[in-house]
Amino acid sequence: MPVSVLVLFCSDQAVSGCYKSAVQVRVHFYSYFKDLAGLAEVTESVAPGSRLEDFLQKLFLRFPKLAAMKKSALVAVGIDYQAGDYVLAEGDEVSLFPPVQGG
Amino acid sequence: MQLNNDEIRRYSRHLILPEVGLAGQKKICSTSVVCIGAGGLGSPIAMYLAAAGIGKIGLVDFDTVDFSNLQRQIIHGTPDVGHPKTESAKATIQRINPNVEVVLHNTRISSENAMEILAPYDIVVDGTDNFPTRYLTNDACVLLKKPNVYGSIFRFEGQASVFAPHLNGPCYRCLYPEPPPPGMVPSCAEGGVLGVLPGIIGTIQATEILKLALGLGSSLVGRLLLFSALDMKFRELRLRPDPQCPLCGENPTVTKLIDYEMFCGITPPPAVPASNPDEVSVQEMKKALDNPALGIRVIDVREPDEHQIAHVKGVPLFPLSTLPRQFTELEPNQQIYIHCKSGVRSMRALHFLREQGFKYLKSVKGGIGAWSDEIDHNVPKY
């Protein structure tokens, strides 16, 4: 687990309390998003109650090459397509799918 | 409609399926389908629909068959190279099943003609290869209330769905409200595609069409099927209509077809291509290579795999992907000509090197493709 990420979001609260309440989310990148992100998957810690939209904003800051595609990505949690107001829960699997055009 | 004895023999394996039977086969035979694109996806779609006995198949394509199509577009063969794709596809369909009525639309589908082309058909199938046509097909289908059987492919992965807001499913815009910025997403021509992949995705599309025609099973309406050939895995996403969708949402703002090239940020090429001061021709590149005394360095910014396929002798490789590490090996005050496959990446390399303080840079217009056409036919085109 990347501790540095935890510290980032914990900076304004007691670290010990934060460890208990942090929500772990696994992120999967598909197709050429893997190339843009430089990896296929990553685990992130988010504050409880975080909305998908806000989480994605942070993710795009971490993976700036993906940021250009933020309005064109299909985002799913588990096997369901989700809108930005979805509240992330412990163990959620977030998948980012790019549009492809080939035929 | 009645089936004659030949048709009863031809469709016998359908007729003995209790779920299809004579009534089902008659439904298939009275269904009309229009296929946008007679390429990788269009090939298996049209061939299987023809074999199944779909009554009328419309084919929309303006292109001609190229050698580079044959690795996956199995409706066309080597003797068809240079001929219109629609005519080549029609010949294959009629060889498979002469009972099928084939209608050719040998034209580029556009906002001006899309409604007229699609309106007479029951089902639309999207086998195009570019974003503007995908949005155009989607919008026209939603406005015409016709199911849009969607498939797309890239490298080793593909996706398929059925978009049909009139059947309570989402449309393509619900999934991808905005097209990606131009140039961000490689096409199959740029990124490559495993030849068999459109066979898998196109066959799934053909299956969905037959199910729609028969009214059988659960369709891909509201689901996106994702396939990875490398993992040999299918995944599925549950979709839902977006109430904010500008096309099929509660307050639609798109009520007629728009300019899709503009929507996708594609600016049409000027009628007379303006000469770009940053570009040189392949003839000038040859002059530089033939006359070292001119002191012009020529470099190739394609990737090593591409260099193996084709290269110009004596031109060193500085792949664009590693250029940020390698550029220090170049001399910022020397004149440098940069080439790639077609002239796009070389222009990107030029801008990168200029930012690093390089002064005398030119991008070779048309890249190694133009070199093959105009200087040396022995250099293969890919």
* Judgement on whether residues B114 and B241 belong to the same structural domain of the protein: yes
Q: Answer yes or no: is B153 within a domain.
A: yes
Last residue of a domain, one of B202, B235, B263: B263
Q: Answer whether B41 sits within 8 Å of A99, measured CB to CB.
A: no
* Judgement on whether residues B199 and B285 belong to the same structural domain of the protein: no
Q: Over range B209-214, report the average pLDDT.
A: 98
**pTM, two decimal places:** 0.81
Q: Answer whether A103 sits within 8 Å of B191, measured CB to CB.
A: no
pLDDT score recorded for residue A71:
87
Q: How confident is the model at residue B268 (pLDDT cuts 50, 70, 90)?
A: low
- How many contacts does A have with B, using Cβ atoms within 8 A? 94
- Cα distance between residue B75 and residue B73, in whole Å: 6
Q: How many CB atoms lie within 10 A of CB B245?
A: 22
Residues of A in contact with B85 (CB under 8 A): none
Nearest-CA residue of chain B relative to A66? B184
Backbone angles phi, psi at B112, to 5 degrees: -75, -35
CA B50 to chain centroid: 22
ipTM value of the model?
A: 0.78
Choose which CATH entry (3.30.450.40, 3.10.20.30, 3.40.50.2000, 3.40.50.1370) describes domain A9-97: 3.10.20.30
* Judgement on whether residues B250 and B119 belong to the same structural domain of the protein: yes
Q: Answer yes or no: is B94 within a domain.
A: yes
Instruction: Give me the domain span that covers residue B356.
Output: 279-374
Residues in chain B whose Cβ is within 8 Å of chain A:
37, 39-42, 126-131, 134, 151-155, 157-159, 175-181, 184-188, 191, 193, 198, 224, 226, 235-240, 242
Q: What is the CATH number of the domain that holds B366?
A: 3.40.250.10
Nearest-CA residue of chain A relative to B243? A83
Nearest-CA residue of chain A relative to B170? A81
Q: Considering its fold, how many domains does chain B have in total?
A: 2
Q: Answer whether B180 sits within 8 Å of A98, measured CB to CB.
A: yes
What amino acid positions of B are annotated as catalytic residues?
Answer: 188, 340
* Judgement on whether residues B113 and B175 belong to the same structural domain of the protein: yes
Q: How does A15-44 read in b/e, with b if 16+ C-beta sit within 10 Å?
A: eeebeeebbebebbbbbbbeebbeeeebeb
* Judgement on whether residues B257 and B283 belong to the same structural domain of the protein: no
Q: How confident is the model at residue B341 (pLDDT cuts 50, 70, 90)?
A: very high
Mean pLDDT of chain A: 83
pLDDT score recorded for residue A9:
46
* Judgement on whether residues B88 and B193 belong to the same structural domain of the protein: yes
Which H or E run contains B103?
strand B101-105
- Cα distance between residue B302 and residue B322, in whole Å: 10
Decide: B206 and B177 in contact? Cβ < 8 Å.
Answer: no
Q: What is the CATH number of the domain that holds B66?
A: 3.40.50.720
Nearest to B187 among A81, A98, A102 (CB): A102
Angle between helices B367-374 and B282-290 (to 10 degrees): 80
Nearest residue to B128 via CA among B113, B157, B104, B149: B149
pLDDT score recorded for residue B274:
64
Instruction: Mention every residue, 6+ apart, whose C-beta is less than 8 A from residue A44.
Output: A2, A5, A24, A25, A26, A27, A55, A59
